[in-house]
Amino acid sequence: MLEVTDLGHRYRAKEGEHTAIDRLSFTVAAGELVCIVGPSGCGKSTLLRSLSGLITPTSGTVALHGDEVRGVPDDLAVVFQDYSRSLFPWLSVARNVEFPLKRKVSRAERRERAAQALEWVGLSGAGAKYPWQLSGGMQQRVAIARALAYRPSLLLMDEPFASVDAQTRFELEDLLLRVRREHDTTILLVTHDIDESVYLGDRVLVLSKSPATVVADLKVDLPAERDQITTRESDAFVALRAETARLLHGGGAVRPRVHADPEGAAARFLAAERAEQASRATRKQAAQS
CB of 259 to ligand ATP, least distance (A): 32
Give whichever of 43 and 53 is closer to ligand ATP, judged by the CB atom: 43
List residues near ligand ATP by CB under 6 A: 11, 13, 18, 20, 38, 40-46, 210
CB of 115 to ligand ATP, least distance (A): 32
Q: What are phi and psi of 166, to 5 degrees?
A: -60, -45
CB of 245 to ligand ATP, least distance (A): 16
Give whichever of 118 and 155 is closer to ligand ATP, judged by the CB atom: 155
Give whichever of 38 and 152 is closer to ligand ATP, judged by the CB atom: 38
Give whichever of 49 and 246 is closer to ligand ATP, judged by the CB atom: 49
CB of 207 to ligand ATP, least distance (A): 8
CA 150 to chain centre: 17
Give whichever of 117 and 204 is closer to ligand ATP, judged by the CB atom: 204
CB of 20 to ligand ATP, least distance (A): 4
Give whichever of 11 and 88 is closer to ligand ATP, judged by the CB atom: 11
CB of 134 to ligand ATP, least distance (A): 23
Query: Would you say 66 and 79 are in contact if contact means Cβ atoms under 8 Å apart?
Result: no
